[in-house]
């Protein structure tokens, strides 16, 4: 996707059926592995990308919502900390928790 002269590549676009009685919702997922030496540094990078991608989607595809995909181990270790929780709440980050070994989605958090 190109927005304002900048090219963005969001990792995955999909339709998510939220519930049987609701229509499908368009989503985009930014998948992060958090493999660096510092979880906070990886989070800062992921957050910056997330904000830019979210803005690009708001401009080009306003009916599509963005989710940040986080490995389950990182979610349990880093994202349970008070700072991460406050940040997620403040910036309204929708999350998808995945197990990279079993290649399954563990939890959707809106």
pTM of this structure: 0.79
Q: What is the radius of gyration, based on Cα positions, of the chain?
A: 14
Mean pLDDT of 21-35: 74
Who's near 13: CB < 8 A, 6+ residues apart?
Answer: 26, 27, 28, 29, 64
- State how many domains the chain has: 1
Question: What pLDDT score was predicted for residue 19?
Answer: 33
87: CATH: 3.40.1350.10
pLDDT in tens, 29-76: 888 888 888 989 999 999 998 998 899 889 888 888 888 989 999 999
Domain residues for 93? 2-109
């Amino acid at each position: 996707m190109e927005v304002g002269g900048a090219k963005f590549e969001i990792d995955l676009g999909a339709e998510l059926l939220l519930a049987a009685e609701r229509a499908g919702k368009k989503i985009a997922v930014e998948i992060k592995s958090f493999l660096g030496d510092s979880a906070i540094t990886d989070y800062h990078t992921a957050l910056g990308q997330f904000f830019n991608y979210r803005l690009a989607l708001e401009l080009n595809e306003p009916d599509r919502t963005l989710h940040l995909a986080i490995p389950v181990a990182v979610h349990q270790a880093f994202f349970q900390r008070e700072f991460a929780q406050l940040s997620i709440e403040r910036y309204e980050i929708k999350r998808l928790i995945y197990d990279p070994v079993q290649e399954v989605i563990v939890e959707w958090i809106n």
